[in-house]
Amino acid sequence: MHRDAFSTYHPLVNLAFFVSVIGFAMFLLHPVALGISFVCAAGYVLCIKGKKALRFGLIFMLPMLLFTAAMNPLFNHQGVTIVAFLPNGNPVTREAIIYGIAAAIMLITVITWFACVNAILTGDKMVYLFGRVAPALSLILSMSLRFVPRFIAQAKIISNAQKALGRKTSPFKILSMLVSWALENAIETADSMKARGYGLPNRTAFSIFTFTQRDALALLFFALNIAVILAGVAAGAYRFRYFPDIQGEWTGAGTLAVFTAYFLLCAFPLFLHVKEALYWKRTASVI
Amino acid sequence: MKYFPLITIPLTIFAGIHLLGDRRFLIIAGLVLIQAMLPIIVLFEGRKPPARVLVTMATLCAIAVAGRIAFFMLPQFKPMLALVIISGTALGKEKGFLIGAATIIVSNMFFGQGPWTPWQMFALGSIGYVAGVIFYEKKIRRIPLAIYGALAAIIIYGGIMNPASVLMFQPQPTAEMFILAYATGFPFDAVHAVATVVFLLLTARPMLEKIERMKVKYGDV
Amino acid sequence: METYRISNLTFTYPNRAAPALDNINLTLAQGDFCVLCGHSGGGKTTLLRHLKPAIMPHGTREGEILFNGTPVNDLAPRDAAAKIGYVSQNIENQIVTDKVWHELAFGLESLGLPTPQIRLRTAETACFLGMQAWFERDTHTLSGGQKQRLILGSILTMHPDVLILDEPTSQLDPIAAEELFTLLAKINRELGVTVILTEHRPEEAFPLANKIIVLDNGCIIYEDTPRNAPRNILGILPTPMRIFHGIGASGTCPVTIKEGRKWLKTQTLKPIPPVQEPPPVAPALILRDIYFKYEKNAPDVLTGVSFTANKGEITALLGGNGTGKSTTLAIAMGLYKPRRGKITAHGKITMLPQNPTTLFIGKTVQEDLHEMTQNLDELEHIVRQCRLQHLLDIHPYDLSGGEQQRTALAKVLLTRPQILLLDEPTQGLDTAYKQNFAEILRSLANTGVAIVLVSHDIEFCAEYADRCALFFNGSIITQSTTRAFFANNHFYTTGANRMTRGLVENAVTATDVINALQKGSL
């Protein structure tokens, strides 16, 4: 992953950001809102993952996009502007086609945001976040993350040991042998936990993440923008409908305020990224 | 706490259908997911499970994920469902549910989280839960386990994941869309079911014996 | 101040007649560095586990164990967790979480410490043990030595009064083992922490210890300083002491190689004749100019390895970690294809993996062996050869390390190999098991099997191998008969050879030196 500023923020800030942008991406279906979220998500994923993200996008997402876009006009027959008729006599409407495209962009946007989630909310941050609400479950996750690479390595060792015995062993048998080995060893791991006092009352949760003023300011920034968006939605400034005909607010002051707030929210990590890139460029040129 | 969702879930559905506008189905589904999963987690945490239980659960969860990564590269030929069924059978419904849900979280840390994560958690968790309800502390025969495995893959897993994709990405879902989703999803579900049956037939007995041995040798796990 | 006072402790496991610990009386002072010795199954681990209430074994128990003057079972759980640090044998199994920092903090989280304090203590510990560079790493990316250090750290953060370690070096290579002892000495010296450990390798442990306890069949048969250790526990003594007692010398017994050399200078040594090169035998496995790397862009792991293993001989491949020994074995086995070079094997080739449990599949030893063959006569023969008669009905995972090793060997032998490869076969085995294992190997070689083993265990190879080869940086530096090999090396050689360097030529084992010292034969 490329150097990224937002990933250095506290996991709670990361989580708050992604929950809100993904939530809004799924519910704000105004074309402008869809566009804002999509551009920000795509820009950010290109920043942190580079060209690899582009290739993944083309190979994996294009078929999904087409499928989702096609599903709507085929099965949704609302809308007033009829473009054609299906063999079964049902109409294909312009509104349904546009709605299908909107749904497809929504899908791509959400998936793209999740690509960012996977890069930013790393395993240890997830374990930390779970630990705040469910410490035992979080410990299970942490241990599993420790075990998985270990078990994969052991599976390879078992498979080699069996080959060295001059036979090919079925993966099912190897899996079964791995289970024996893992369960027998697990008992010692449990002893190691007990030996270090696991099970004493009032356990605390430590993390190397520190919540600083910068994190508080970021949360405040999110909260302000979210408040503006929600207020706009509640006040009807953000009205948009696809059926039976396409109608909606585009230019009202309230509408523009919602769009501005939405853009500021979605583009937050992108701002940070560009700012940091410029800083390093400047420092490098000074040196 | 335990029966809380039985009241709140119908309430949520009723209120949702009558009160919410666009995308109400997604909101309802999301709320139902949370209400179904939360009590199990809260009850589990409240019991302060001992080290041995946690390690055993983490081990089974990691085996499911490692098994998927190490041996079986084919997209739908996953051992996870079978292992979760075995876990539920050996350790009971509550742990079965949590192992299923945790397996998804960990697996997706390697393969990528997505909007499907909570649905998968609920689906695989439910499969572990139901396995616990049917088979826990009963005499185990392979055939009923395998039949349950096939049904779980098609009815529970497919039954949750296929409509989920429609709910999430079609703001105005229609009945045809759900049918199409099932139809296109069915070949994958069928492969998943076959994989699960094969895994259960070949590995369920030895694995259950192994977990049983740990129970006998070291006490409850 | 006494850390532990144990009086009249007798302990019996459930369903066993004989007690595992028999009337143990023991006192450990604050700041002691104590080494617990004895054969496997002699009760060492059982005794260690009695020192910590959370992991005390189940069974019937009599007697009293006082920790800092309080019976251990009356300790407040928090004190028992923090003050008594325990490290069990398997390094990997000790590590619970996926991050180094989390592992260090684990015990402190259990104690319920607030974040700022945990932050301070983990930072301090990481500095003390030199772990800063990998503080944020994933635990599975660490080397064996680093893992062992992490485990120590995760206990030191809790500020223990005593550190209990069960065979801490059994899975480490010699360099990492030495580092660990240096660290333990530092913890003992600078923090005043009492250290109790069990150990199979006396060479490094004895010079550090101020107290040796020898357990045999659950009884303490010796408890005093290392220097006074009697000759009846010869098998577990370091080389200088073995030689000293071997000739029945009197005076102050040397413990370290340095002391041993000083003492040897006062003795008369008769010369040892060089051993004649044995007659050439038929080769069984020939490797010629093997080049290999694991990945396309990685550096070569093997750079032109050539060696020959003969029928009926035991060939040992020695060398540090990461020099390509195990890779060579895997290539000879056919697990990987060499990039360049030729392998010729005359006869069936199989390998005993480093971890014997990788071969276990059955519910009993019997089942595991039956899986390999239907021929009952052959089975019985191998069972006898590997001395498994009394173990057939036991679950393979319930066996001791040495017994698991022999069961795995039996499985391998049932494939009737003419060439047998062994990867670190002596790791974690005690002297008795090693000897036992070596005897089986020798009887196998006598039937014409070519045996190739990879090992860190210099003393074992010096004692039992016919030929030795030294790996360095992906190829073999030197290769000759065992005696010539060790006689010509300077650092990478046995304790006996280092002790006699410049005093007498060609001494490789303690027995050589003892023979050279025998009076009247000059």
Q: What is the pLDDT of residues B142-186, one digit of tens each?
A: 899 999 999 999 999 999 999 998 888 887 788 888 998 899 899
Q: Do both B87 and B162 map to the same domain? A: yes
| Nearest CA-CA distance, residue C408 and chain A, Å | 10
- Sign of the Cα torsion C391, C394, C397, C399 reads negative
Interface check A156 vs C, CB under 8 A: no
Q: Do both C225 and C366 map to the same domain? A: no
Confidence at residue C186, expressed as pLDDT on a 0 to 100 scale: 94
Q: Do both A225 and A106 map to the same domain? A: yes
Confidence at residue C520, expressed as pLDDT on a 0 to 100 scale: 47
Closest CA to C59 of C78, C79, C43: C43
Round the average pLDDT of chain A to a whole number and report it: 89
CA–CA gap between residue B117 and residue B45 (Å, rounded): 21
Q: Do both B10 and B85 map to the same domain? A: no
Q: Which domain, by its residues, includes A144? A: 140-194
Interface check B213 vs C, CB under 8 A: yes
pLDDT tier, C522 (very low <50, low <70, confident <90, very high otherwise): very low
Q: Do both A90 and A171 map to the same domain? A: no
Q: Is the model's pLDDT at C348 over the cut of 80?
A: yes
Residue of B nearest to C362 (CA): B206
Confidence at residue C521, expressed as pLDDT on a 0 to 100 scale: 45
Query: Rounded to two decimals, what is the model's pTM?
Result: 0.90
For residues A80-87, give the mean pLDDT: 83
Confidence at residue A165, expressed as pLDDT on a 0 to 100 scale: 86
The residues near A99 (Cβ < 8 Å, ≥ 6 apart) are A72, A76, A79, A242, A243, B171, B172
The residues near C494 (Cβ < 8 Å, ≥ 6 apart) are C239, C458, C459, C462, C486, C508, C509
Q: Is the model's pLDDT at A186 over the cut of 90?
A: yes
Question: Does residue C513 form part of some domain?
Answer: no
CA atoms within 13 Å, Cβ hemisphere of C67: 22
Give the burial class of A275: count Cβ atoms within 10 A of its Cβ; 0-12 exposed, 13-18 middle, 19 or more buried.
Answer: exposed
Q: Per residue in C57-108, pLDDT tens?
A: 888 999 999 999 999 999 999 999 999 999 988 889 999 999 999 999 999 9
CA–CA gap between residue A32 and residue A204 (Å, rounded): 46
Name which of B23, B31, B54, B103 to mutate to probe chain A: the one with the most chain A Cβ atoms within 10 A of its Cβ.
Answer: B54
Q: Which domain, by its residues, includes C10? A: 2-234
Chain C residues whose beta carbon lies within 8 Å of the beta carbon of residue B213: 395
Residues A174, A159: contact at Cβ < 8 Å?
Answer: yes
Task: Find the helix or strand (DSSP H, E) in which C481 lies.
Answer: strand C475-481
User: Residue A194 and residue B51: Cβ atoms within 8 Å?
Assistant: yes
Question: Does residue A203 form part of some domain?
Answer: no
CA–CA gap between residue B127 and residue B98 (Å, rounded): 10
Helices (H), C129-256: 144-156, 174-191, 202-208, 239-246
CA–CA gap between residue C82 and residue C5 (Å, rounded): 19
Q: How far is CA A280 from CA A218, A273, A287, B217, C72, in A?
A: 22, 11, 10, 60, 59
| Nearest CA-CA distance, residue C5 and chain B, Å | 29
Round the average pLDDT of chain C to a whole number and report it: 90
What is the number of other CB atoms lying within 10 angstroms of the CB of residue A119? 19
Q: Do both B61 and B78 map to the same domain? A: yes
pLDDT tier, C430 (very low <50, low <70, confident <90, very high otherwise): confident
Interface check C371 vs A, CB under 8 A: no
Q: Do both B37 and B107 map to the same domain? A: no
The domain total for chain C is 2
Q: Could you say which of A78, A110, A175 has the minimum Cβ distance to residue B71?
A: A175
For residues C380-396, give the mean pLDDT: 91
User: Residue C96 and residue A205: Cβ atoms within 8 Å?
Assistant: no
Indicate the DSSP class of residue C254.
P
Interface check C134 vs A, CB under 8 A: no
Q: Do both A165 and A235 map to the same domain? A: no
Chain A residues whose beta carbon lies within 8 Å of the beta carbon of residue B114: 111, 114
Confidence at residue C48, expressed as pLDDT on a 0 to 100 scale: 94
Residue of A nearest to B206 (CA): A176
Closest CA to C148 of C120, C184, C122: C184
Chain B residues whose beta carbon lies within 8 Å of the beta carbon of residue C88: none
Question: Does residue C517 form part of some domain?
Answer: no
CA–CA gap between residue A285 and residue C458 (Å, rounded): 57
Confidence at residue C465, expressed as pLDDT on a 0 to 100 scale: 94
Confidence at residue B18, expressed as pLDDT on a 0 to 100 scale: 63
- Within the 115-154 window of chain A, which residues sit less than 8 Å (CB to CB) from chain C? 123-124, 127, 139, 142-143, 145-146, 149-150, 153-154
Q: Do both A58 and A110 map to the same domain? A: yes
Q: Is the model's pLDDT at C237 over the cut of 50?
A: yes
Chain B residues whose beta carbon lies within 8 Å of the beta carbon of residue A96: none
Interface check C351 vs A, CB under 8 A: yes
- Domain-terminating residue out of C195, C212, C234: C234
Residue of C nearest to A189 (CA): C93
Residues C358, C396: contact at Cβ < 8 Å?
Answer: no
**B217 in helix, strand or coil?**
helix
Q: Per residue in A96-129, pLDDT tens?
A: 899 889 989 999 999 999 999 999 999 889 999 9
The domain total for chain A is 2
| R_g of chain C, CA atoms, integer Å | 24
Question: Does residue A135 form part of some domain?
Answer: no
Interface check B210 vs C, CB under 8 A: no
Interface check A212 vs C, CB under 8 A: no
| Nearest CA-CA distance, residue A139 and chain B, Å | 8
Q: Per residue in A161-183, pLDDT tens?
A: 999 888 888 888 899 999 999 99
Name which of A130, A158, A192 to mutate to probe chain C: the one with the most chain C Cβ atoms within 10 A of its Cβ.
Answer: A192
Q: What percent of chain B has pLDDT over 70?
A: 90
Indicate the DSSP class of residue C509.
S
Give the burial class of B18: count Cβ atoms within 10 A of its Cβ; 0-12 exposed, 13-18 middle, 19 or more buried.
Answer: exposed
Q: Do both B41 and B85 map to the same domain? A: no
Closest CA to C181 of C214, C154, C142, C207: C207
Give the β-pairing of C162-166 and C21-29: unpaired
Q: What percent of chain C has pLDDT over 70?
A: 99
| Nearest CA-CA distance, residue A2 and chain C, Å | 18
Q: Do both A146 and A47 map to the same domain? A: no
Q: Do both B8 and B107 map to the same domain? A: no
Q: Is the model's pLDDT at C324 over the cut of 70?
A: yes
Residues A1, A206: contact at Cβ < 8 Å?
Answer: no
User: Residue A140 and residue B57: Cβ atoms within 8 Å?
Assistant: yes
Confidence at residue C247, expressed as pLDDT on a 0 to 100 scale: 86
Lowest mean pLDDT among A140-149, A239-248, B200-209: A239-248
Most confident listed range (C3-12, C484-493, C502-511) = C3-12
Q: Could you say which of B26, B45, B214 has the minimum Cβ distance to residue A26?
A: B26
Q: Is the model's pLDDT at B68 over the cut of 60?
A: yes
CA atoms within 13 Å, Cβ hemisphere of C287: 27
CA–CA gap between residue A182 and residue A165 (Å, rounded): 22
CA–CA gap between residue A42 and residue A269 (Å, rounded): 12
Q: What percent of chain C has pLDDT over 90?
A: 58
Question: Does residue A204 form part of some domain?
Answer: no
Question: Does residue A31 form part of some domain?
Answer: yes
Residue B69 sits in a domain of what CATH number?
Answer: 1.10.1760.20
Q: Is the model's pLDDT at C185 over the cut of 70?
A: yes
Name which of C93, C162, C400 to mutate to probe chain A: the one with the most chain A Cβ atoms within 10 A of its Cβ.
Answer: C93
Confidence at residue C78, expressed as pLDDT on a 0 to 100 scale: 92
Q: What is the DSSP string of A73-135?
A: HHH----S-EEEE-TTS-EEEHHHHHHHHHHHHHHHHHHHHHHHHHHHS-HHHHHHHHHHH-H
The residues near A257 (Cβ < 8 Å, ≥ 6 apart) are A228, A232, A237
Q: Do both A32 and A144 map to the same domain? A: no
- Within the 481-500 window of chain C, which residues sit less than 8 Å (CB to CB) from chain A? none
Q: Which domain, by its residues, includes B89? A: 54-218
Residues B167, B16: contact at Cβ < 8 Å?
Answer: no
Question: Does residue A132 form part of some domain?
Answer: no
| Nearest CA-CA distance, residue A110 and chain C, Å | 29
Question: Does residue A205 form part of some domain?
Answer: no
Confidence at residue C502, expressed as pLDDT on a 0 to 100 scale: 87
Question: Does residue C310 form part of some domain?
Answer: yes
Q: Do both B65 and B151 map to the same domain? A: yes
What is the number of other CB atoms lying within 10 angstroms of the CB of residue A169? 16
Token representation of residue C282: 């038929």
Q: Per residue in C122-137, pLDDT tens?
A: 999 999 999 999 999 9
Token representation of residue C464: 């039992």
For residues C254-271, give the mean pLDDT: 90
Q: Do both A109 and A226 map to the same domain? A: yes
The domain total for chain B is 2
The residues near B15 (Cβ < 8 Å, ≥ 6 apart) are none
- Domain-terminating residue out of B31, B48, B65: B48
| Nearest CA-CA distance, residue B217 and chain A, Å | 10
The residues near A230 (Cβ < 8 Å, ≥ 6 apart) are none
Residue of A nearest to C97 (CA): A143
